[in-house]
Amino acid sequence: MNVLKQRLPKSYNNLQTRMKSTIYALSSGFGKCGVAVVRVSGPSASHAILKMTRLPALPEPRKACLNKIVDPSTKEQLDNGLLLWFPKPNSYTGEDSCEFQVHGGRAVVASILHGLSKLPNFRPAEPGEFTKRSFYNNKMDLTEVEGVSDLIDADTELQRKQALMQLEGSLRQLYSSWRRILLENLANVEAYIDFSETDNIEDSVMVNVRSSLQKLSTDIQVHLSDNRSGELLRDGVKVAIIGAPNTGKSSFLNFMSNREAAIVTDMPGTTRDLVQVSLDVSGYSVILTDTAGIRTETVDVIEEIGIKKAIDQARVADLVILIADVQHILRANDINVWFQEYSAKMNVDLNKCLVFVNKVDTLSIGQVNKLKTLLKSSSLELCFGSCITNKGLTKVMAAFEKSLIELCGKPNFEHPRCSQARHRYYLEMALADVKKYLEDSKQDVNVDVAAEHLRRATLQVGRITGHVSTEEMLNVIFSKFCIGK
């Protein structure tokens, strides 16, 4: 069966019609620049070369050549530029393609695009259509398509590495191997159903199927038990700065962002709303949010709203930086009990907290000794410092980076991780069906009924890579792309 029909049976005819057209777009982004790249792909891409240059024949594939670019109807010269020819199937889209690399002025680009619009059966590309054609022509699967999008959107080094690994097929190889295992086991089960009574199908076939699926079930569970580390690396780690009023939260935000992002005063309750900054911390994308100081008693309605927002932010954060005033700790007899009560008042779980004790510059010698005594009986890992003198902030940053590594890990081609909630959803569905098959086959349920779970599991994994899909899901994915990609 044709692969496109297998993927999109309902929209096959419409797809074939649209792919008969030749598309073009500015691929290098809008705005004035030194060089602009106009990309063309489709069955008539060669006509763009012959009609918009004075070449008598197509140039050598994948070799840049300098040419005069002309209007296809008036033959007026539009620019001098480089031309590249990519005959199918060795192109990005798998179709005949070419690129015009011209000067990046708006008038030049507009004239090139206008010239292409005059050619028969040429039309402007839709968002993501070049990559969409690459998918339909089996140049890449959906995980690699998403890798392209993630690579374009990558803001940090580690996001770039993860996206590049995905583009190079790290997830495709893993998920395709799982789908192959499911298909092989499904084939064995269906053979057993069809021929066990008339042919010599050994009973060991079903034993081997069960053993194979048990291992697959374990592998999928391990893959899913990563605490969303791949998704956090891709989307960014949400970090909330929480604490009582006037403990130095805004000062800490300013230190982290290396600018005056939040107003700092000696007055408690200065911060009323959420103040958010995006940071690159050692390659990790971090969305850092300063919040209103949390206290139980306030007569200010605006501050009360700010406190509610702070508590909500702490609840949804991936990591919380809990800030305390060292002078408040000195009043406690037991640091462990004090912090448990303090975190409860802030409505945060200490297990996802990095605790920073601020204002150590205010300690007297006697208070330092008392603090040392209190710490001897403490099991908490606390960071001490001062946002005024910058003392101890290097250690806080080291602890923060360690927390990010624990949350997100490092990209690894041999052990790729889910980077999209979509992957996780379908894997969880597939895992549930595999477990259901194992349960049903163990309880001597009708084999036909049990086999249906394997069919569904195969379908779910196929939806991740695009072997089984719907036009609606594809449109959601490709709509995220820019024009010309």
Task: Say if 320 falls within a structural domain.
Answer: yes
423 in the same domain as 378: no
256 in the same domain as 336: yes
368 in the same domain as 291: yes
User: CB–CB of 236/278 below 8 Å?
Assistant: yes
343 in the same domain as 218: no
209 in the same domain as 175: yes
pTM of the model: 0.82
333 in the same domain as 248: yes
CATH number at residue 396: 3.40.50.300
Task: Output the pLDDT for position 116.
Answer: 97
pLDDT in tens, 296-311: 777 678 888 888 888 8
Place of tokens 């990095």: 354
73 in the same domain as 36: yes
158 in the same domain as 115: no
Given 109, 126, 143, which residue is the final one in a domain? 126
345 in the same domain as 238: yes
* Order of strands across the sheet that contains 65-70: 65-70, 77-86, 97-104, 33-41, 22-26, 122-124
Task: Output the pLDDT for position 189.
Answer: 84
Single-letter residue type at 209? V
Task: Output the pLDDT for position 146.
Answer: 95
Number of domains in the chain: 3
Task: Say if 132 falls within a structural domain.
Answer: no
CATH number at residue 429: 1.20.120.430
| CA–centroid distance for 346 within its chain | 31
Q: Which domain holds residue 352?
A: 232-408
Token code pair at residue 219: 């592998």
384 in the same domain as 243: yes
| Total Cβ atoms within 10 A of residue 394 | 10
Task: Say if 146 falls within a structural domain.
Answer: no
Task: Say if 8 falls within a structural domain.
Answer: no
Task: Say if 32 falls within a structural domain.
Answer: yes
217 in the same domain as 83: no
Task: Say if 283 falls within a structural domain.
Answer: yes
Task: Say if 346 falls within a structural domain.
Answer: yes
Where the chain has pLDDT below 50, the residues are 1-12, 469-470, 472-473, 476-477
387 in the same domain as 259: yes
Task: Output the pLDDT for position 9.
Answer: 45
Task: Say if 256 falls within a structural domain.
Answer: yes
Given 385, 408, 431, which residue is the final one in a domain? 408
Q: Which helix (H) or strand (E) holds 93?
A: none
